[in-house]
Chains A and B, each alone.
Chain A
Amino acid sequence: MAAELGPRAMFVAGGTDLFPKLKRRQFEVDSLIGLDFLPRAIRNRSDECVIDAGVTLAHASHDPHLNERFSGYAQAAGHVSSPPLRNAGTIGGNLCVDTRCNYYDMTYEWRKAAGFCLKKDGDICLVAPSSPRCWAVSSSDTAPMAIALDGLVTLVGASGERELPVTALYRDDGDRYMAKQPDEVVTCLRLRRSLNTRSAYVKLRRRGSIDFPIAGAAVAVELDGDRVESCRIVLSAVASYPLEAKAAEEFLKGRRLQEDVIREAAEIASKPAKPLDNADLSHFWRKRMVRVVVEQALARVSDQQPGLDG
């Protein structure tokens, strides 16, 4: 249906991202396609958990099985914005949430006064004027965690159904940040990790609620005895896509999660993060904080200490 309605049609699930942006005229649409018909169940199997795209963030964050097996995911869902918003916002919408920039998430009048930018109505980037691309920030809390947990999404579109890793949904481009076809609907998310996976999500934001992440670390670790067998570390809100800290993952393999190791891994993980001056607080400080959130997330999976918000 989306394919027939053309480029000026958009999907809407909970509407918590889309409606504010429509009101600010960041999107102009002729028609909205409600996704209320999507199923809304969480299906637990022995080795995986399948979450329908229509499941609300509140539902996911309270689900006992998710909390037990994929606690990092439940934490990430429970840290999105505020309680009333989580009762409407869906996990599908959270995977597809628009990238953010404080030159862009503004009303039409404000953007007009500032000068339009290339993500909408203009042709330059106001944050990095010499750059040909948009640096808007991936601000989903659950996407990094879904990637850390080796999540797979199912897409259904005009050309059929396909399943792909969550990472493959995103591109390093703040403007066209999704790699999927516009007519493809996310129908479910499949999380698979073995029984001894531990995961944690640490989110940095100014206030205890409502705010988007200004840095975040999603960590999933599998231990072999007390050594790391495999691990994934994915950062939120420091790039235009959920940024995987590959070097740090490599570094941790085979090591014990002890304080000095964690510190070094966090240091390595923070290297590729390049926050720009388009979100809350200074980008220098945010850069510095990446190390801290990674440390805290790793510490949490190693049961050493609670994180920033734990």
Chain B
Amino acid sequence: MRDVERVVLILDVNGEARQLLVPSHKTLLEVLREDMQLTGTKHGCELGECGTCTVLIDGKPQLSCLLLPIQLEGRAITTIEGMANGSDLHPLQVAFAELGAAQCGYCTPGILLAARSLLEENPRPTRDEIREALAGNLCRCTGYTKILQAVELAAERLR
């Protein structure tokens, strides 16, 4: 085996500056899950095809399976673990729980983050705008209906 090149990085994850020594080719997904124990970020393909690994970079959803941490120093990374305020859940999290928008819950972290980014930009999205914004995130359980309702409910409560 070739020696893997390791790099020292400081990443801003959920508002905390974290110093890491990681192989330079590891993706953000892997670093979050394996080096930072932030296993709330899930994966379904690791090829950019399903949206499960979505995290926020400077508030915008991106696919952590296609990002290299070395490109992300100085950027604000938000994962599902950073969504609640202490033990107070974000209104989107509350709405997802109340309306049954998470069944197996595996797609949920990515969808919650993408929805949060949407509501920050557009507090009154139409149903079609929500569909557009979440169209990169697949869910196999819910048929999306309850997710749409939950985003609408959270949007209403956030206003």
Pick out which of these stretches binds chain B: A76-84, A161-169, A267-275. A76-84
Mark interface residues in A85-108 (1 if CB within 8 Å of B CB, else 0). 101100000000000000000000
B61 touches A87 (CB 8 A): yes
Q: List CB contacts (< 8 Å) of B22-80 with chain A.
A: 27, 46-49, 51, 54, 57, 60-63, 65-68, 70-71
B residues less than 8 Å from A83 (CB atoms): 61, 114, 132-136
Nearest-neighbour CB distance to chain A for B1, whole angstroms, equals 15
Nearest-neighbour CB distance to chain B for A279, whole angstroms, equals 15
Residues of A in contact, count (CB < 8 Å): 20
Interchain CB contact (< 8 A) of A15 among B60, B66, B135, B136: B66
Mark interface residues in A50-70 (1 if CB within 8 Å of B CB, else 0). 000000001000000000000
Nearest-neighbour CB distance to chain B for A11, whole angstroms, equals 13
Closest to B27 in A: A19
B49 touches A88 (CB 8 A): no
Mark interface residues in A16-49 (1 if CB within 8 Å of B CB, else 0). 1001100110000000001010000000000000
Closest to A22 in B: B25
> Which residue, A16, A208, A209, has most C-beta atoms of chain B within 10 A?
A209
Could you count the A-B residue pairs with CB atoms below 8 Å apart for me: how many are there? 65
A residues less than 8 Å from B46 (CB atoms): 23
A36 touches B136 (CB 8 A): no
A288 to B143, CA, bound (A): 32
A34 to B66, CA, bound (A): 14
B135 touches A20 (CB 8 A): no
B residues less than 8 Å from A81 (CB atoms): 48, 136
- Known interface pairs A19-B68, A88-B57; 14 further A-B residue pairs with C-beta atoms within 8 A, sorted by A's residue number: A16-B66, A20-B48, A58-B60, A81-B48, A82-B136, A83-B114, A83-B132, A83-B133, A84-B62, A84-B114, A85-B63, A87-B57, A87-B62, A210-B49
**Interchain residue pairs A-B with the least CB separation, the first 8:** A82-B136, A209-B135, A84-B61, A20-B47, A84-B136, A87-B60, A19-B66, A83-B136
